[in-house]
């Protein structure tokens, strides 16, 4: 993961904001909002170390690389704005991802403006400093849940959660589906959100601060 993140540039980032009940902001309108950022750092003409098959797949999903290059945001500008607008509150938030090592890898690269640490322990320590302990990876959580497996689409399907906006492999749509899948997972398998008093089901606070694929080294 470190080698890939250090060598490549981020293409998209999706963010879905909600309250503790999963309600999305309406900004004073009758709509609900999620955010998708397209970055201009990624240059399809340069290759950026992605395979031709991966690029073709994303094109088929509707990713417009040339449009991103012309009108997207620079990751350095995004990082600068994120630091000044939300960084001081990051550790107070709950962060939810699905198989999120790359997500947080790119975020850390953007925010620190340097290559990732050489070992997993240091990387997870930096993630904790920036984002706090309430970082939940749904791919890690489902290991404790009988009958749940697979990627985001499969887990959402098994939990009877449908995609209500956008297409798969678009960061904004995937972020919304991740949140809604997490909320359903929490309700079905984990009882109350934190400090669970029901001893028949585990509490989520046991699984915070761990990203799928980095579990053993993180502990």
The model's pLDDT over 162-214, given as tens digits with 9 standing for 90+, comes to 998 878 888 999 999 999 999 999 998 887 544 444 444 556 778 889 999 88
**Angle formed by the axes of helices 101-112 and 120-131, to 10°?**
70
Q: How far is CA 88 from each of CA 17, 24, 56, 81, 192, rounded to the nearest angstrom?
A: 16, 22, 39, 12, 27
Confidence of residue 89 (pLDDT cuts 50, 70, 90): confident
Q: Do the domain assignments include residue 15?
A: yes
pLDDT score of 95: 94
pLDDT score of 52: 78
Candidates 146, 147, 116, 143; CA nearest to 130 is 116
* Torsion sign over Cα 20, 23, 25, 29: negative
CATH number at residue 188: 3.30.420.10
pTM of the model: 0.86
pLDDT score of 59: 86
Q: Do the domain assignments include residue 217?
A: no
Q: What is d(CA 119, CA 105) in angstroms, rounded to the nearest whole number?
A: 12
- Report the number of distinct structural domains present in the chain: 1
- Count of other CB atoms within 10 angstroms of residue 206: 12
Pairing of strands 12-15, 35-38: antiparallel
Q: Do the domain assignments include residue 219?
A: no
pLDDT score of 47: 61
Q: Do the domain assignments include residue 218?
A: no
* Arithmetic mean of pLDDT, 92-111: 94
Query: Which domain does 90 fall in, by range?
Result: 2-211
Q: Do the domain assignments include residue 139?
A: yes
Confidence of residue 87 (pLDDT cuts 50, 70, 90): low
Per-residue model confidence as pLDDT tens digits over 21-78:
999 999 889 889 999 999 998 877 776 566 778 888 888 888 888 888 899 999 999 9
What percent of the chain shows pLDDT beyond 90? 54
């Amino acid at each position: 993961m470190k080698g890939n993140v250090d060598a490549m540039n981020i293409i998209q980032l999706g963010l879905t904001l909600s309250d503790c009940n999963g309600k999305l902001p309406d900004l004073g309108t009758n709509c609900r909002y999620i955010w998708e950022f397209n970055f201009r750092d990624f240059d399809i003409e340069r290759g950026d170390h992605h395979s031709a098959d991966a690029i073709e797949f994303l094109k088929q999903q509707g990713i417009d690389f040339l449009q991103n290059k012309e009108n997207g945001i620079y990751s350095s500008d995004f990082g600068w704005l994120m630091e000044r607008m939300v960084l001081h509150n990051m550790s107070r938030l709950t962060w939810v991802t699905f198989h999120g090592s790359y997500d947080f890898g790119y975020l850390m690269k953007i925010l620190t403006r340097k290559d990732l640490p050489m070992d997993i322990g240091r990387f997870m320590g930096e993630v904790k400093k920036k984002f706090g302990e309430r970082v939940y990876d749904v791919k890690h959580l489902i290991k404790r849940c009988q009958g749940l497996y697979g990627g985001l689409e499969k887990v959402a399907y098994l939990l009877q959660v449908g995609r209500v906006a956008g297409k798969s492999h678009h960061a904004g749509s995937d972020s919304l589906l991740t949140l809604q899948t997490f909320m359903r997972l929490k309700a079905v398998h984990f009882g109350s959100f934190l400090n669970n008093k029901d001893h028949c089901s585990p509490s989520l606070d046991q699984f915070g601060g761990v990203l799928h694929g980095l579990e053993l080294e993180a502990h």
